[in-house]
């Protein structure tokens, strides 16, 4: 992820989105979206994902399959078996967690040939916690871009803090988040990091979010989380 730095100091913002997809809303629009969310029929209870304090992976898979069906996302062959899921060891899966499917993580012979294709799944109001990517022995720092397929996601990075965002973030994550500039991304809208090592996080809207990510080769050894209490497999 040794791509040229873009829009230094502006991060994941509507300007970058306008360049990519020809649309955008400013800070006022982002704040308006935060205050205008409606309550959908898709709803989950955190206690349903834990049995005697242990995370129930099968229940989590059920939830993501329900998310797929709600948005008419294809439940393709082996979709359930291929789900990668984590609650980051916090015990608050409906607030902080992640579902994903890595379709391809290509480790080519040459660094420039390496790439990754995956989809990210977030339940309603679920947060993918703040993290960043470093260079490893086998991978460049990971450069990422996303297109929202379904729902809505607040894609957060460096820049002027978005009013009203902090109140939506789980209490367990507020003190560890270091970036607060949100881009509201809806279906068909694209956003990206402004540089490979930028800290970033996402927060799904009330109907959850399904995003496709394009990136260079992913090496888990390069992932770092701002919240040191998180458990990342």
For residue range 50-83, list pLDDT tens digits in order.
999 999 999 999 999 999 999 999 999 999 999 9
Looking up tokens 């809208």 gives: 189
Nearest one of 203, 228, 213, 210 to 37, comparing CA atoms: 203
Backbone angles phi, psi at 125, to 5 degrees: 60, 20
CA dist., res. 11 & res. 191, Å (int): 10
pLDDT, greater one: 24 or 126: 126
pLDDT above 50 for 204: yes
CA dist., res. 90 & res. 173, Å (int): 10
- pLDDT value of residue 39: 58
Beta strands in the chain (DSSP E): 50-51, 54-55, 84-86, 98-106, 115-122, 127-133, 144-157, 181-185, 190-192, 200-215, 223-225
170, 230 in Cβ contact below 8 A?
no
pLDDT above 90 for 217: no
- pLDDT value of residue 20: 37
Instruction: Tell me the average pLDDT across 110-128.
Output: 88
Which pLDDT band holds residue 31 (cuts at 50, 70, 90)? low
CA dist., res. 61 & res. 65, Å (int): 6
- pLDDT value of residue 30: 66
pLDDT, greater one: 102 or 170: 170
Which pLDDT band holds residue 133 (cuts at 50, 70, 90)? very high
204: alpha, beta or left? (left if phi > 0; alpha if psi -120 to 50): beta
Least confident of 34-43, 128-137, 151-160: 34-43
18, 198 in Cβ contact below 8 A?
no
State which of 11-15, 103-107, 148-152 shows the largest mean pLDDT.
Answer: 148-152
Instruction: Tell me the average pLDDT across 194-205.
Output: 96
Backbone angles phi, psi at 23, to 5 degrees: -140, 170
CA distances from 33 to 26, 135, 145, 170, 183 (A): 11, 35, 22, 18, 10
pLDDT, greater one: 72 or 115: 72
Mean pLDDT of the chain: 86
pLDDT above 50 for 44: yes
> What is the value of pTM for the model shown?
0.83
Instruction: Tell me the average pLDDT across 196-208.
Output: 97
For 42, the 3-state DSSP assignment is coil
CA dist., res. 227 & res. 93, Å (int): 16
Instruction: Tell me the average pLDDT across 172-187.
Output: 98
CA distances from 51 to 40, 46, 48, 65, 151 (A): 27, 11, 8, 20, 29
- pLDDT value of residue 12: 46
CA atoms within 13 A on the CB side of 93: 26
């Amino acid at each position: 992820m040794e791509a040229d730095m873009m829009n230094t100091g502006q991060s994941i913002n509507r300007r970058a989105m306008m360049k990519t997809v020809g649309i955008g809303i400013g800070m006022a629009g982002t704040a308006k979206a935060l205050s205008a969310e409606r309550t959908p029929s898709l709803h989950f209870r955190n206690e349903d994902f834990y049995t005697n304090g242990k995370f129930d992976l099968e229940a989590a898979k059920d939830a993501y399959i329900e998310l797929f069906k709600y948005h008419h996302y294809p439940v393709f062959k082996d979709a359930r078996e291929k789900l990668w899921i984590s609650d980051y060891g916090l015990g608050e899966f409906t607030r902080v967690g992640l579902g994903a499917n890595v379709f391809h993580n290509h480790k080519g012979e040459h660094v420039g040939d390496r790439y990754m294709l995956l989809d990210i799944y977030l339940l309603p109001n679920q947060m993918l916690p703040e993290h960043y990517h470093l260079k490893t022995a086998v991978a460049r720092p990971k450069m990422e871009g996303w297109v929202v397929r379904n729902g809505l996601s607040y894609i957060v990075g460096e820049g002027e803090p978005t009013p009203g965002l902090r109140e939506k973030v789980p209490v367990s994550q507020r003190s560890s988040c270091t970036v607060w500039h949100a881009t509201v991304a809806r279906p068909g809208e694209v956003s990206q990091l402004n540089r490979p090592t930028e800290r970033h996080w996402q927060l799904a809207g009330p109907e959850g979010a399904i995003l496709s990510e394009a990136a260079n080769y992913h090496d888990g050894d390069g992932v770092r989380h701002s919240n040191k209490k998180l458990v990342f497999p």
